[in-house]
Amino acid sequence: MTKRLVILGGGFAGLQLARHIGKAPYEVTLIDQNNFHQFQPLFYQVATGRLEPSAISFPLRKVFQGNKQVHVRVSEVLAVDVAGQKVITNDSEYPYDTLVIATGCRTNFFGNENMARYAWPMKSTNEAIALRNRILQNFEDSLTATEAEQAELMNIVIAGAGPTGVELAGSLAEMKKHILPKDYPDMDFSRLTVYLVEGGPNTLQAMSEESRRKSRRYLEEMGVQVMTDTIATDYDGHVLTLKGGQQIPTRTLVWSAGISGNVPTGLPQDSLVRGNRIKTDAYNKVVGIDNVYALGDIAYMETEAFPKGHPQVANVAINQAKNLAANLKRMVKGAPQRPFEYVSPGSMATVGKHKAVVDLPRFSFQGRVAWFVWMFLHLMLILSVRNKLLIFFNWAFSYFTNDTTLRLILRPDNKEFLRTRMRGEGKPKNPANLPTAG
């Protein structure tokens, strides 16, 4: 008898589960608010004009083309009815026998309404495009700006020195050195300053001591102002205030300082833990709820090796999905399930050309070799051959020319929406069907 398997989210976990369920007797419905999968680790390259959005986006229907077992639905999930075993979306209801929640995370502004209103997140392709528009528009505006406005336009602040913040800061520093002086020969880019603000004592806090030290050194050599043990407390769209009273004038505050689980409405409160993550057992089954599982960033599973839950990275999501797919097949056959066990293969981050850090379980290394390893492994994670070739071509072109050809300002087709957002006046009420910046 065919069972109804509903998967919420087409990210790394949801996509891999649907792909690995194979020919097991499940009718799979994959629900996502977008009709494409997004490769989040390279959002920063879209934001800095190194890659076009289509290079890191993959149509879900193309992935499952010819697979009649998987049905893709583009809908917004409104709630999960656990008692009735159905998912309620903005346009329909989907009954399930087994539900898998893989909805990932959203930006966490820690309750700061001004940060949420004025800062620029980077958790989706739309947000990466919006950030690229903001950065490029800054330089266009600088050509006619008054002296008082120049500091706001020429300061870019990144809050959070994890991999996203470090990689974005390094990419902007390279852009300042190699690209912008050629695009704007009549501008003085010595005034352009990239700040990286981190509340903890180090950049890349989760990595090894050598990688922390080397990443900071790379950034400072590239001209990035690294400010550790520094907390951003308020932002009005024009001035960032730090704890202690220091202020930085800027119209571009990029927020990469925290994430929170994107939990659908309807789950009992006692299933949630710190960070708005869903507590699961060793098989990714949601604690206290039958027939419901959670995967990836949103899942919180305590093990002996990971007493505070697994790291919220793509490799965990992919492997949890593969393990659950195998367990669902075993359930059909009445075979015992296998708990999820994760052995970290390591972590890595790139700062700039020939500048990267890699931590493996037994040792770490940095520099040119680490940079090539970072590029190769990220390229291998890309889904389609077409996208692999497209990204490789862009990277090769950039490597030999220190340039890109993708610095496009793509405006939404609404003048008022664009005007208010570009001036840093906050987020007006969004007209229907327009992309937002978070």
Q: Does any domain span residue 305?
A: yes
- Residue pair 186/199 in contact (Cβ under 8 Å)? The answer is no
Assess whether 218 and 150 both reside in one domain: yes
DSSP 409-434: ----S-HHHHHHHHTT---PPPPTT-
Assess whether 228 and 377 both reside in one domain: yes
Rounded to whole angstroms, how far apart are CA atoms 84 and 315?
33
Assess whether 144 and 243 both reside in one domain: yes
Q: Does any domain span residue 52?
A: no
Structural domain span for residue 265: 3-33+75-107+259-333
Scanning the structure block, which residue is given the tokens 């359930």?
331
Rounded to whole angstroms, how far apart are CA atoms 405 and 52?
10
Last residue of a domain, one of 306, 333, 360: 333
Q: Does any domain span residue 45?
A: no
Assess whether 192 and 241 both reside in one domain: yes
Rounded to whole angstroms, how far apart are CA atoms 99 and 313?
22
Query: pLDDT digit string (tens) for 373-416?
Result: 999 999 998 988 889 999 999 999 999 998 887 788 887 666 55
Last residue of a domain, one of 280, 303, 333: 333
Report the pLDDT value the prediction gives residue 233, as an integer from 0 to 100.
Answer: 96
Domain containing residue 299: CATH number: 3.50.50.60
Assess whether 245 and 298 both reside in one domain: no
HSE at residue 188, side-chain half, CA atoms within 13 A, is: 5
Assess whether 187 and 274 both reside in one domain: no
Domain containing residue 236: CATH number: 3.50.50.100
Assess whether 369 and 234 both reside in one domain: yes
How many C-beta atoms surround the C-beta of residue 265 within 10 A?
A: 10
Report the pLDDT value the prediction gives residue 419, as an integer from 0 to 100.
Answer: 57
pLDDT in tens, the chain (438 residues): 799 999 999 999 999 999 999 889 999 999 999 999 999 999 999 999 999 999 999 999 999 998 899 999 999 999 999 999 999 999 999 999 999 999 999 999 999 999 999 999 999 999 999 999 999 999 999 999 998 899 999 999 999 999 999 999 999 999 999 999 999 999 999 999 999 999 999 999 999 999 999 999 999 999 999 999 999 999 999 999 999 999 999 999 999 998 999 999 999 999 999 999 999 999 999 999 999 999 999 999 999 999 999 999 999 999 999 999 999 999 999 999 999 999 999 999 999 999 999 999 999 999 999 999 999 999 998 988 889 999 999 999 999 998 887 788 887 666 555 455 555 554 444 433 333 333
Assess whether 134 and 187 both reside in one domain: yes
Amino acid at position 36, single letter: F
Q: Give Dmax over CA atoms of the chain in angstroms.
A: 73
C-alpha separations of 269 from 105, 353, 415 in Å: 17, 46, 42
Assess whether 120 and 161 both reside in one domain: yes
Assess whether 117 and 82 both reside in one domain: no
Q: Does any domain span residue 431?
A: no
**Alpha helix ranges (H) inside 259-337:** 314-333
Query: pLDDT digit string (tens) for 266-316?
Result: 999 999 999 999 999 999 999 999 999 999 999 999 999 999 999 999 999
Last residue of a domain, one of 307, 333, 359: 333
Among 28, 106, 101, CA closest to 60: 28
Pairing of strands 292-294, 98-101: parallel
Assess whether 124 and 214 both reside in one domain: yes
Question: Structurally, how many domains does the chain consist of?
Answer: 2
Assess whether 124 and 218 both reside in one domain: yes
